Chain A
Amino acid sequence: MRRIIYLMLIIAIGMSGLLAKDYYLYVAAESEDEVALIRFDGKTAHVEKRIPVGVWPLEIEGPHGLSVSPDGEYWYLSMAHGMPYGHLYKYKTGSDEMVDRVELGLFPATMGISNATGLLYIVNFNLHGSHSESSTVSIVDPDEMIEIDRVETGIMPHGSRLLNNGLKHYSVAMMSGTLYEIDAMSMEVTRTLSTEPKMKSMSNHMSHNMKKMDHSKMNMGSNKKDSMAKMNHKMPPEKPTWVYPHPKDDRLYVVNNGTHNVVEVDVKKWAVTRTFKTDKGPYNCEVTNDGKYLVITYKSAAKTGVWDLSTGKEIAKFNNTRKVTHGVSISPDSRYAFVSVEGVGKEPGAVEVFDLKTLKPVAIAEIGKQAGGIAFWKMAD
C-alpha cells in the first residue's frame, strides 16, 4: 500500500510538473525606453530581462506598441518619437537582439500581423499633431522590414488588429470617431463605420462604403492655419482607442474611450449590435481565445473589467495597483489576462496578472515607467 502511495505521489508530482506552464510576454515601458520580458509561472510574475531600446541615450524615444510574429521568432516594437518620424524595430525573441528597423510616419503605435499575408499593419497615430490631419496605416513586410504602402484613414488611428483569417484589418481613428476596415490583400479601405453606440449611431450617422464615395474633392489634412485661440476640434465624443476581433471573426469590439462604452460590431452586417456601458475611460480590450470573455482596461478608472460575452454582463472588475491602466494580452489558453499599468511620474509601471478562471488577481511585476504596449510571446513547459 505504501508503495502504491509513493507511486501515486511520484506520478502526481510528475504530472504537476508536466502541467505547470510558463507564460512569456513582452511589455514596453514608454518613459523608460525599455522593453521587459515577463515570465509568469502560474503564481509569480518574474521580470526576466529589461531590454534597453532606441538609439538616443539622452532622449526618450517612446517604445509604444508591441507584436510577436505568429511563429514566435521575432518581436516588433514601434518607437513613437523621431526627428520627427518614428520607427518600427524588429528583434529576435529570446536573444532580444535588434535585427533591423524601418522609418514610418508620425508616432507609429499599435500593430498587427496578418495570418493571411504575413504583412504587418501599423497605425501612424500622430498623437502629437494638431488633430486636424488624417493619418495612415503603414503596411510593412516584416521579413525584409520594408514599408510597402500607406493607407490613409482618419485622425489619430489606433488599435491595429486583424481578423484571425488575416483578410481584414481594423483600426479606429480616435479623433474621427470612425472604425476603418482595410482589405489586407488589396490594401484599400473597404468600409468605415461610426463607432457611436447603436441608437445614437442610427439617428446621427450612416455607415460608409468607401468604394461608393468620391473623395477627390475632400480637403483632408490641409488645414494648417489653426485658430490661435483655444483649439476647438469639434471631434466626435466617442474617441475610440481600440478594436479587437472575436475569435470567430464575426464580431468586433470597439472601445469608445470618450463615452465610456464598448460597442460590438457585426462584421457581416457592418453595424453596431450591442453596447456595453463600462467604467471610466476604457482604453484597450481583448477577447479570450475561447470567445467567452472580453477583458477591458479602464484607463481613467484604473481598473480592469471582465465581461461575459454571452450575457453581456461584467462579471468581475479589478482595481489596478496604480493609475493609468493601459493594455491587455490574454494567454492562448484563455486562462490569464496580463494587464499593463502605466503609473504616474516616477512610479514604476507594472504588469498585473488576473486569473480568468477564479476571477482573482494573482501576480504583479514592476517594470519601467509608463508600461504600455504588451504582447504575448509563448507558453512553455
Chain B
Amino acid sequence: MKKLIAIVLITISLSLAQDAPEEKKLQFVFEPDSLSLNIGETGTVNIKLLDGDGNLSNNPFYVYGRPRRTLESSPRISDSTGVATVTIKVYKPGKLSLAVRSISEKRSDRVMGGIPIHVPLPPLDRVAFIDPASKVYVGTSVKYTTEVFDQANLKRTEKVTLSSSNNDVATFDSFENLMVKKSGKTTLTASVEGISESVNIKALKNPVRKMTLSADKDEIRTGDVLVFSAKAMNRSGRTVEDVPVVFSYTGKAEYGIGLPASALINQDGKFVAETAGIFTVMAQSGGYSARKTVKVVPRNVKKKITVVGHGTVKDYNTSDLWVWPGIGKHVGKDFAATGTWGANGEAYFWDVTDPAKMHIIDTVTVDARTVNDVKVSEDGRVAVITREGASNRKNGFVILDIEDPYDVKITYEFNDDMTGGVHNVFIYDNHVYAVNNGRKYDIINIEDPSNPFRVGRYELDTPGHGVHDVWVKDGLAYSSNWADGVHVVDVGGVKFNEANRSKLQFNPFLAMAGQGSPGNPVKLGGMSDPNGHNHAAFPFISQSTDKFYIIAGDEWGNQFGMAGGFHFLDFTDPKNPKETAVYQVPEAGSHNHWVHGDTLLASYYQGGLRIVDISGELMGDIYAQGREIAFFMSSDPDGFMANRPNVWGTMPYKGLIYFSDMNNGLWAIKLEDDAPMGTN
C-alpha cells in the first residue's frame, strides 16, 4: 500500500514539474515605435514578432488600424516568420493607432501590441465674426460670436481670443461681450493659433436718456406669455431703435417660504412665469433702466376625471387603439379596435356604444407576435393592422373589412418587401402609409382593398436614417425620424385656397403644397432632433394664437426606465422653425399623443395619461407652468400586469378621451368640469 502511495505521489510531482516549463513570451518590436503623419500622407513601419530569445518567432500576426476607417494598412498580415513591413495611409485626424495581434488558438497565448500614430488636425484656415455689429453705443454690452474653420473646411472648436485695439473705448469680458466705455473707434480682432480677423467699429455716444417698459397686462397666469415692450429714447423723446436692451426679472413667489420665483424672459421681451407671485421685469440700456411689476396668479386649469368605462385585457400587452362610428346597419353605434404587443398577433374589436359597458365583440388573429398599430379609414369600412414577428418573417400589414365590426374579415395580407415588419401605419384618402422596416414609409393604394398596390415610397438619404411613425392630415405626411426629426411631405396636400378662411389657412405648409402626390412624395420642410429621440409628430394649429406647431414626441429610455417629452416646434415660419417649449414629466416616458382643440392628450407610459392646456403662446417649460389639466393613472388589479399603469396611445371621441394601457386594455374617461379653460 505504501508503495502504491509513493508511486502516486511521485507521478503527481513529476507531472507538475513537467507542466511548468518557463516559457518566454513573444514580443513585438516596432521600427519606428511611433509615427506622426498628416492627413493623406503615407508612412512605413517594420514590425517583428520575436520569441523570448530575441529570435524571429515564426508566428504570424495580423495588423489593423484603430479606430475603424481612420487609416489604411497594408499588408494585413505578416509573413510566416513573424515579419511585416506595413504601409500606412491616414485619413482622419486624432490619436490613431496601429494594432497588432499574434495569431493563436488560445486567448492566453495571444500577444498584442501597437504604436501610436499621431495625425495632427489640419492647420486652421480662417476665423470669422458672425454678423458683427459695426456701430455700438457707449454703456452697452454687445455679444460678438465667431467661427473657426480649418483647411479641410471643418468647423473647429478652438478657443478664440477676442481683443480690442483700444480698450479705453471698448473691451471684451471673458464671455465675448464687448463692454463699450466711451465713444471713439476701435478694431476688434478675433485670433486663434496665428490666424486672425478684424473688424472696425464705431462706438457712439449713447443717445439714450430714458427707458420705458410696458406690457398689455398687469396680471397673468402661470404659463401665459406676456410681451414686454421696451423703448429707449433720446433727449428729445425719440425712440432709439438700434440700441441693445437687456431684459431681466426678479420675483417673489406667493408661497413665501423661501422657494424660488421661477420664470423665463427672452431677449425679445417675452416673459412667462412658472410660479405664482409678484415679478418685476427690468429693461436696461446704457445705464438707463425701466421696470414694470406684474402679478402672476396660478393658472388654475385643473379638472377632475371620471372613469366612464374600462375593458380589461389581461392575457397580453395592449398596443395602439382607434375609435370610430359604425356605418350601414351599425349607424348610431360606436366601435374601437386595439392591438396586442409581444403576444399572439391578435387585434380586438370593441363595441363602445355604451362606453361604460365596452366589450370585445370580435378578435382577429394573424401570424405575428406584435400588432403594434391599428388604424381605421375615414369612411369606417377598412381597418389596417400591422404585423411584426410573423413566423415566416414576411410581416407587412393586414387589411380588414370592418363594415360589420361584429364579424371582421381579413381582406388582404400585404407583405411584399416588408420583411422587416410594419411598426406604424396611417390611412388617408384610400392609401396606406406603412412604416417599412423602420427605414422608410411605403404608400399603398387600397381603393380596392382586395387588390392593393404600392405607388410610392419616402426614404431619407442621411447616413443611418430611420423613420418611426407617419401621420397624414390634409394631404401632408408628418413623419418622425429619430435624429432626422420631423419631416413634412406633400402627398397630395390640399392646395391652399385664399377664400378658405378656416383655421386651415394657418398651416403654412398648405400654402406650399400642390407639388406632391402619393406616387410622388415631396418634402416641404422639417427640423432635425439633436437628441435623436423623435418618435411621433402631430400637427397643431393653435386655436387661440393661429400659430402652427408640430408637436414632436420623444421615445427613449435607459436603465431607470422610459423618459422623454413633447417638443413644441413653431413652424409658423416653415423655413425657420424653432423649438419654443417642451412638456416633459420628469419621472416618466412619453409615447403617443393627440391634440384636440388647444388641449394635448399625452400618453406617458408609467406616468399615465396627461391632459395639458396648450392654449396661448407656448414658451419654456410647459410642465412647470401648471398647464396640466389632469392626469390619470390607469391602474387595474386584473390587468396583464396588475396595478401598473403604462399608457400607450390616446384619442378623443365624442366628448370622451379613450386611451389604451399596455398593461391592462382600453379606457374611456371624461373631464368632469365643463367650465371652459382660460386662454390668453
Interface residues, chain A, with chain B CB atoms under 8 Å away: 31-32, 55-58, 60, 69-71, 73, 81, 83-85, 115-119, 127-131, 141, 143, 146-149, 166, 185-187, 224, 226, 228-231, 323-324, 342-346, 369-370
Contacts and interface: CB of A to CB of B under 8 A. Distances in A.
B519 interface: yes
B64 interface: yes
B223 interface: no
A127 B393 contact: yes
Interface stretch (B234-242, B415-423, B567-575, B625-633): B415-423
Interface in B377-416: 388-389, 391, 393, 416
A230 B76 contact: no
Given A116-B103, A345-B369, A128 B420 contact: yes
Interface string B458-470: 0100001110000
Contacts of A370: 369, 389
B76 A187 contact: yes
> Which residue, B62, B368, B519, B605, has most C-beta atoms of chain A within 10 A?
B62
Contact of A185 (B60, B66, B557, B662): B60
29 contacts: A31-B389, A55-B558, A55-B559, A57-B562, A60-B342, A60-B370, A60-B388, A70-B107, A71-B106, A83-B464, A83-B466, A83-B532, A117-B62, A127-B419, A128-B421, A128-B438, A128-B439, A141-B64, A143-B110, A143-B112, A146-B67, A149-B64, A185-B77, A224-B459, A226-B417, A323-B391, A342-B391, A344-B367, A346-B343
B101 interface: yes
Given A71-B107, A148-B68, A230-B416, A58 B466 contact: no
10 tightest A-B contacts by CB? A128-B420, A346-B344, A128-B437, A345-B344, A185-B77, A344-B391, A231-B417, A148-B64, A31-B389, A31-B369
B451 to A, nearest CB: 11
A166 B368 CA distance: 39
A345 B343 contact: yes
Contact of A228 (B68, B343, B454, B562): B454
Contacts of B417: 130-131, 226, 231
Contacts of A128: 419-421, 437-439
Contacts of B305: none
Nearest to B315: A346
Interface size band for B: 35 or more
A116 B342 contact: no
A115 B110 CA distance: 12
B343 A118 contact: no
B597 interface: no
Interface in B423-476: 437-439, 453-457, 459, 464-466
Interface string B335-354: 00000001111000000000
B416 A149 contact: no
Contacts of B103: 116-118, 185
Contacts, number: 130
B266 interface: no
Dominant secondary structure of chain A at its interface with chain B = loop
B283 to A, nearest CB: 46
Contacts of B558: 55
Contacts of A115: 105
A112 to B, nearest CB: 14
Contact of B68 (A81, A147, A224): A147
Interface in B196-255: none
Nearest to B591: A58
Contacts of A185: 60, 62, 76-77, 103
A38 B532 CA distance: 38
B482 interface: yes
Nearest to B418: A128
B67, B369, B453: which has the most chain A beta carbons within 10 Å?
A: B369
Given A71-B106, A185-B62, A127 B420 contact: yes
A127 B106 CA distance: 34
A135 to B, nearest CB: 14
User: Which residue, of A55, A60, A71, A343, has the highest number of chain B Cβ atoms within 10 A?
Assistant: A60
Contacts of A119: 62
Given A57-B557, A187-B76, A346-B369, A118 B420 contact: no
Given A84-B465, A116-B105, A185-B77, 11 more contacts: A31-B389, A32-B342, A55-B559, A69-B107, A83-B466, A84-B438, A128-B421, A141-B64, A185-B62, A226-B457, A229-B454
A323 B391 CA distance: 9
Contacts of B77: 185-186
B107 A143 contact: yes
A231 B419 CA distance: 12
A230 B105 contact: no
Contacts of B605: 58
A345 B345 contact: yes
